[in-house]
Structure 1
């Protein structure tokens, strides 16, 4: 078993409860942690035996492009897509952070983490 982490993926997207958030958009950061079998890829040194990080990134990018009111919804969509496209995933954790959220005070980010 191995763990693959993709950290600091940055996107501009239109997620949020407020209408202005869905029009103006905001910066988001995504982290994914995937547990999968890595022994075959480690031995063969062949991408076909590995979980393709680029394909994982593209799956997350596609999910970020669909507007949602809640980060929980975006997270679920990502998890659904990852498990559908990559059956070798044993466990996945997704963390989505909205940078500088419009919550009436100064804060760096608000985040939602979900795992399956």
Structure 2
């Protein structure tokens, strides 16, 4: 099994339950892991024999631009798009962290993790 990961992808987006969160925006950090089997000869050194992490980033960037109230649908839509574009992928894990969420105390981040297995 091969695992391709994209960790620490940073975005500024307007996700949040409260109107001020959707107005002010917030910083987010995204981690994506995908696992798949291949029969390809990896020594051939062809990008078509793997999951291109640039494509993972582009999927995430497109979904992060769509404002949503909750983190769960953002992470789920990213996983769904990966599954659609790469149906051979066995396991998908998407963790979305909201940095410094608007709470009454100091919190480094809140997060949601979606796991999508075949």
Tell me the TM-score normalized by structure 1.
0.95
Q: Hey, what's the Cα distance between the residues in 1 that align with 2:115 and 2:32? A: 10
Structure-to-structure mapping, 1:30-41, within 5 angstroms? 30-38=30-38, 40=40
Q: Hey, what's the Cα distance between the residues in 2 that align with 1:36 and 1:3? A: 7
For structure 1, the residue ranges without an aligned partner over 5 or more in a row are none
Q: Hey, what's the Cα distance between the residues in 2 that align with 1:86 and 1:104? A: 41
- Contact 2:5 2:53 (8 Å CA) reproduced: no
| SS of 2:90 mapped into structure 1 | strand
Q: Which runs of 4+ in 1 moved over 6 A?
A: none
Q: CA deviation at 1:60?
A: 0.9
What residue in structure 2 maps to residue 67 of structure 1?
Answer: 67
Q: Hey, what's the Cα distance between the residues in 2 that align with 1:55 and 1:98? A: 22
Q: Hey, what's the Cα distance between the residues in 2 that align with 1:99 and 1:73? A: 17
- Contact 2:94 2:113 (8 Å CA) reproduced: yes
Q: Hey, what's the Cα distance between the residues in 1 that align with 2:66 and 2:39? A: 35
For structure 2, the residue ranges without an aligned partner over 5 or more in a row are none
Q: Does 1:107 align with 2:107?
A: yes
What residue in structure 2 maps to residue 47 of structure 1?
Answer: 47
Q: CA deviation at 1:87?
A: 1.3
Q: Hey, what's the Cα distance between the residues in 1 that align with 2:41 and 2:51? A: 9
